């Protein structure tokens, strides 16, 4: 880490962790706000991972809730049999890996479909997963699993949220990430340049599914009750709205939109129909008037913040 930018980012990261941990310790953030905080973190993981698949690689996936449910059920089933911290870690890793494996299995045959067909195929896959969980005895069917041991608290959430963002940002800045972006831009040209599009599409799908599995495991372990309808098409749409609102192609946009929509949905918890009506209007209005979302494909960066800062200052020499 050679320059001040990296040190600043590291400092901000540590500060965020410490401040919120202190707020929790001193009881300023009560139980209800902790639920919101957990929802925010899980939303961030889901939104950033879906953005990798849909925004950066251009593969329109409506099946994210299916991957989340695999992670949730796997982690729940394992921790219910091994209610210890190593059990939880095993459950989390198993859930994420299971989701990634299913992602690869589903991705290999379907990722050669074009946009619209891929959307329906992923939707169908997510529905099949939900129906399977609804009918298996081990998952207790429609009644769901309750009494899942709770292990998740702020340190766990922070580690996984920051870890997911770092994983995806580093993936995107590498040559693999550039390959994925080139697939979004023009798949035939990328293929002509020698990029194995199938390999990179499946990789993006697998990483996205892995992170969704982590989010599902965190959800199961915090909210201690899951049933198949928790992870239905509505959930996939929730995540899609976050990605679209933030900007398909902007990680910081997804983070911002995830926070914003978690707050809105907590606010409108008692009016669930109104919440969905508002979500649907957000989708339509954004697509017609500002299809690039809040951030477009730009990322929030320190230079952007300093430019914003200088706009509001009265110094003569403005950047």
Q: Which is nearer to other proteins, 80 or 134 (CB)?
A: 134
Q: Which is nearer to other proteins, 277 or 304 (CB)?
A: 277
- What's the min distance (Å) between Cβ of 281 and other proteins? 6
Binding mask 130-159 for other proteins (x = CB under 8 A): -xx-xx------------------------
- What's the min distance (Å) between Cβ of 51 and other proteins? 13
First and final CA of the chain: distance in angstroms?
26
Q: Which is nearer to other proteins, 53 or 218 (CB)?
A: 53
Q: Which is nearer to other proteins, 169 or 283 (CB)?
A: 283
What's the CA gap between 245 and 262, in Å, rounded? Answer: 13
Q: Which is nearer to other proteins, 163 or 291 (CB)?
A: 291
Q: Which is nearer to other proteins, 31 or 273 (CB)?
A: 273
Q: CB within 8 A of 127, min separation 6: which ones?
A: 66, 233
Within 250-309, which residues bind other proteins (CB under 8 A)?
A: 273-274, 276-277, 279-284, 287-288, 291
Q: How far is CA 114 from CA 55, 65, 121, in A?
A: 15, 21, 10
Is-contact 71 213, C-beta < 8 A?
yes
Within 174-193, which residues bind other proteins (CB under 8 A)?
A: 188
Within 195-224, which residues bind other proteins (CB under 8 A)?
A: none
- Does position 125 interact with other proteins (CB under 8 A)? The reply is yes
Is-contact 216 68, C-beta < 8 A?
yes
Q: CB within 8 A of 115, min separation 6: which ones?
A: 58, 60
Phi, psi of 312, rounded to the nearest 5 degrees: -90, 0
Within 71-110, which residues bind other proteins (CB under 8 A)?
A: 109-110
Binding mask 17-36 for other proteins (x = CB under 8 A): --------------------
Q: Which of 41, 145, 179, 248 binds other proteins (CB under 8 A)?
A: 248
B/e letters for 45-76, b = 16+ CB within 10 Å, e = fewer, are bbbbbbbbbbbbbbbbbbbbbbbbbbbbbbbb
Q: Which is nearer to other proteins, 20 or 132 (CB)?
A: 132
Q: Which of 92, 206, 240, 257 binds other proteins (CB under 8 A)?
A: 240
Stretch that binds other proteins, among 39-47, 64-72, 87-95, 114-122 (CB under 8 A): 114-122
Q: Which is nearer to other proteins, 1 or 138 (CB)?
A: 138
What's the CA gap between 21 and 35, in Å, rounded? Answer: 14
Stretch that binds other proteins, among 121-129, 195-203, 208-216, 294-302 (CB under 8 A): 121-129
| Region at 84 (left for phi over 0; alpha for psi -120 to 50; beta for the rest) | beta
Give the angle 150-155-161 at the CA atoms, nearest 5°. 95
Phi, psi of 268, rounded to the nearest 5 degrees: -100, 25
At 166, list the tokens. Answer: 């770092």
Q: Which of 50, 75, 92, 119 binds other proteins (CB under 8 A)?
A: 119
B/e letters for 195-232, b = 16+ CB within 10 Å, e = fewer, are bebeebbbbbbbbbbbbbbbbbbbbbbbbbebbbebbe
Which residues lie near other proteins (CB under 8 A)? 54, 58, 60, 109-110, 113-117, 119-121, 123-125, 127-128, 131-132, 134-135, 188, 233, 237, 240, 244, 248, 273-274, 276-277, 279-284, 287-288, 291
């Amino acid at each position: 880490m050679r320059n001040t930018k990296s040190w600043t980012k590291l400092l901000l990261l540590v500060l965020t962790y410490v401040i919120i941990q202190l707020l929790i310790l001193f009881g300023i953030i009560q139980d209800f706000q902790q639920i919101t905080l957990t929802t925010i973190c899980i939303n961030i993981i889901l939104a950033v991972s879906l953005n990798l698949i849909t925004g950066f690689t251009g593969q329109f996936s409506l099946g994210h809730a299916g991957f989340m449910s695999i992670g949730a059920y796997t982690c729940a089933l394992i921790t219910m049999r091994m209610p210890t911290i190593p059990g939880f870690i095993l459950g989390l890793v198993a859930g994420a890996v299971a989701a990634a494996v299913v992602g690869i299995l589903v991705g290999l045959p379907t990722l050669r479909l074009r946009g619209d067909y891929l959307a329906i195929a992923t939707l169908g896959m997510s529905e099949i997963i939900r129906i399977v969980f609804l009918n298996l005895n081990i998952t207790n069917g429609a009644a769901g699993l309750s009494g899942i041991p709770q292990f998740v608290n702020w340190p766990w959430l922070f580690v996984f949220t920051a870890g997911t963002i770092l994983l995806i940002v580093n993936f995107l800045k590498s040559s693999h990430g550039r390959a994925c972006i080139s697939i979004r831009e023009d798949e035939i040209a990328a293929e002509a340049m020698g990029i194995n599009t199938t390999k990179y599409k499946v990789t993006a799908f697998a990483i996205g599914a892995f992170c969704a599995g982590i989010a599902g495991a965190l959800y199961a372990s915090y909210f201690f009750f899951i049933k198949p309808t928790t992870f239905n098409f509505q959930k996939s749409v929730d995540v899609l709205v976050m990605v679209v609102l933030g900007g398909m192609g902007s990680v910081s946009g997804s983070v911002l939109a995830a926070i914003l929509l978690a707050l809105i949905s907590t606010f409108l918890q008692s009016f669930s129909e109104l919440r969905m009506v508002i979500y649907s209007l957000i989708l339509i209005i954004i697509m017609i008037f500002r299809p690039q979302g809040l951030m477009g494909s730009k990322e929030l960066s320190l230079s952007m913040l300093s430019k914003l800062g200088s706009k509001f200052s009265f110094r003569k020499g403005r950047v």
